[in-house]
Every structure is written in structure tokens, then in C-alpha cells.
Structure 1
Amino acid sequence: MAPAAASGGSALPSGFRVFASFPDLLFIFEFVFGGLVWILVASSLVPIPLVQGWVMFVSVLCFVATTALLGLYLLGAHGEEASWVGLDAAYHCVAALFYLSASVLEALAAITMQEGFTYRQYHENIAAVVFSYVATLLYVIHAAFSLVRWKSA
């Protein structure tokens, strides 16, 4: 099996080769920044429950799905199946779209907190916005490279 997109191949990596191939290395950063969004939103004051409910849904869903997908890749559950390349591309496209919507809504929630909230509460939400946009960028980059890998498969 080829080591993945890092060497020009179109197959998905398995085992610890996931950590040595791009864009699959981004799983780690998606996991970290998605977890930070989840933690910050969960610990912050909620000015707009519906908006931040969506942000929590997206961050928890993507955190769990990214963890599951990374675990399946580490176990080599995909084998030589070409359909996994399409699944990887589809997942990262949907995750990027979800995170973009969550980032915009979290920014809206933070903007509404400028008046009447403490400095700490406001800055927790600003940190969540920043980490949410970083997670969005990571998912967009991963989606773009997954689509290239899928197209060449």
C-alpha cells in the first residue's frame, strides 16, 4: 500500500503512517482545536442558547467523528477499499461547512456579549471564536487535499 498523498499515491494510510502523511496529519490538529472549541463553549456563559447549542453540536460531532475516523485509519479498517477515499473527502467537506457555520454563529454570540458581561466571559467566547476559525481552516485544508486524493483515485 502506498504511504498516501505525501508520496503522490491515492491510497489512505494505515497504522502509524497516518501521522507521517499529509493531509492525514491534520487529524491531530483538528482533534486539538476542535476539543478546545468544545471546552471553551461548554465552560462559557451562553448568551444565545440556540446559537451556542449548534456550536456545541458541531464541535462534539466533529470531535467524535474525527476521533473515530483516526482510530479506523490507525487500525487499518479501510483496507484497500477505494470508497474510503470518497468517505474521507465527503466527511471533511461536511465538517468544514459545519465548522464554518458554527464559527460565524460563535462570533455573533461573542459580539452580543460586549455589553453586560464580564471581561472573562467575553474573552472565553473570543477564544472559542479564534479556535473555531482555526478548526475551520484545518478542516478546509484537509477537505481540499482529500478531494485531490479522491479525484486522483
Structure 2
Amino acid sequence: MSSATSGTSLPSGLRVLLTFPDALFIPELVFGGLVWILVASSRVQSPMLQGWVMFVSVFCFVMTGTLLCLYIAGAHGGSSSWVTLDAILQATAALFYLSAAVLEAYFTYNVGLVAQIPGYLLIYQENIAAVVFAFLATLIYVIHQAVSLWRWKSS
């Protein structure tokens, strides 16, 4: 049986911002916030697709921000259940963001077919940026998930 070592335990205080993978909270918040802003500012053509993207970006932004604040405050107290919570959150966020990025790319492709019509070019450009940031957020969450699962297995 392995026990939690200092390499696998969760940091607290400002050390959260200096340790890997916990330092990935900041780019997750930045890219997730950009997806949120870009999708919210564009004209909604398909409420079901873009509604899911908005839900994912807001949900992951709030959960990541909350978890970051709790880690900085030291609320976890070194408990191994927080390592499990971190692994579950990162896995869920990675899966959600992958689905949202694919749906946003599908929507953007469809808008691109009519981008020559006046008024659709701006929508197309905003959604291209949202797709890029959604896939970047997905990549960051997948990296964070992989390291969190390794940390969970080691604890």
C-alpha cells in the first residue's frame, strides 16, 4: 500500500499557484472565461447546441474557481477525499469541455456555410475564436485530469 506523500498531497495557500497540476487552474479559468464571453456575445442560432456550451463553460468556471479558492484557503486539510474530488472534477470537466468544443465546432461549421451572407461573418469569426478557446480549455483540463488521476492513484 502506498501512502500520500508530499508529492501527491494537495497544496494549500499560494503554493497552489506554484505546483503542477494545480497551477493549471489559472489557464482553465482564463480559457473557460473566454469561451463563456465569446458564446454569450454571439447571436444564438441554435439554442440547444450553444446552450450546452454555455452550461459547460459556466459550470466549469464556477467549479474550478470554487475549488481554487478552497485550496488557497486550505479547506481540504490534507484529506485524501479531496484528491478524489479533484480527480472527479477534472475528469468531468474534461469530458464536458470535449463535448462542448465538438458541438461548438459543428455549429461554427454550419455558420461558415452561410458566412457570405451579410451579418453572418461576425458570428462566424466569434464562433471560430470560441472553438479555438474551447479546444484549448479541453486540452488543459485533460492534462490536469491525467495528473490528478495519477495523484489519486498514488494517494
TM-score (structure 2 length as normaliser): 0.92
Output the CA distance in 1 between the equivalents of 2:19 and 2:44: 39
Per-residue deviation, 1:131: 0.1
Structure 2 residues not aligned, in runs of 5+ = none
Output the CA distance in 1 between the equivalents of 2:7 and 2:57: 31
Output the CA distance in 2 between the equivalents of 1:38 and 1:53: 11
1:67 aligns to what?
A: 65
Bigger RCO (CA 8 Å, 6+ sep): 2
Identity of aligned residues (%): 62
The match for 2:144 among 136, 142, 145 is 142
1:103 aligns to what?
A: 101
Per-residue deviation, 1:120: 1.5
2:13 aligns to what?
A: 15
2:25 aligns to what?
A: 27
2:38 aligns to what?
A: 40
2:130 aligns to what?
A: 128
Per-residue deviation, 1:118: 2.5
- RMSD across aligned C-alpha pairs, in angstroms? 1.4
SS in 2 for 1:113: helix
Structure 1 stretches of at least 4 aligned residues deviating more than 6 Å after TM superposition: none
Output the CA distance in 1 between the equivalents of 2:61 and 2:126: 20
Output the CA distance in 2 between the equivalents of 1:136 and 1:80: 28
Alignment coverage as a number of residue pairs: 148
1:50-85 per-residue CA deviation (whole Å, 9 max, x = no partner) reads 000000000000000000000000000000211100
SS in 2 for 1:29: helix
